[in-house]
């Protein structure tokens, strides 16, 4: 989409979400319990999206790829390996983001 006021209804209906690694997009999707494939924008300078995506992938919450490996990732993915994102701990996520972007 170009722009929508809210993606809540789309997320509710989704079986799979493919998104960039923006913190809000990732958190909203994971809080809804939806499987998430994060596509990294490798052209960003000081790429905080890469750090966020890598950490969420290491923790087993998302699948991670770039534009050139998206098709391969979708063909080989096993969504049963994804771990649910722990609910109700926004302060831990905020601390992680602060660490990633260098505020700590």
Measured in whole angstroms, the distance separating CA 86 from the mean position of its chain's CA atoms is 14
Query: What is d(CA 35, CA 79) in angstroms, rounded to the nearest whole number?
Result: 7
Mean pLDDT, residues 4-18: 92
Structure tokens at 81: 């390996």
Matching CATH number, 7-101, of 3.40.50.2000, 3.40.630.10, 3.30.70.20, 3.40.50.300: 3.40.50.2000
Domain positions in the chain are 7-101
Question: Mean pLDDT across the chain, nearest whole number?
Answer: 88
Q: Pick the more confident residue, 41 or 32.
A: 32
51 by Cβ neighbours in 10 Å (0-12 / 13-18 / 19+) ranks as middle
* Tens-digit pLDDT profile for residues 53-104: 999 999 999 999 999 999 999 999 999 999 999 876 677 778 888 888 877 6
């Amino acid at each position: 989409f170009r722009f929508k006021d809210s993606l809540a209804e789309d997320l509710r209906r989704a079986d799979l979400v493919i998104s960039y690694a923006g913190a809000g997009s990732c958190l909203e999707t994971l809080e809804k319990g939806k499987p998430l494939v994060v596509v990294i924008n490798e052209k960003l300078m000081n790429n905080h999206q890469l750090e966020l995506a890598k950490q969420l992938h290491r923790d087993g919450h998302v699948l991670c790829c770039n534009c050139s490996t998206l098709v391969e990732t979708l063909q080989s993915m096993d969504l049963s390996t994804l771990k649910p994102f722990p609910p109700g701990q926004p302060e831990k996520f905020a601390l992680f983001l602060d660490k990633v972007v260098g505020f700590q």
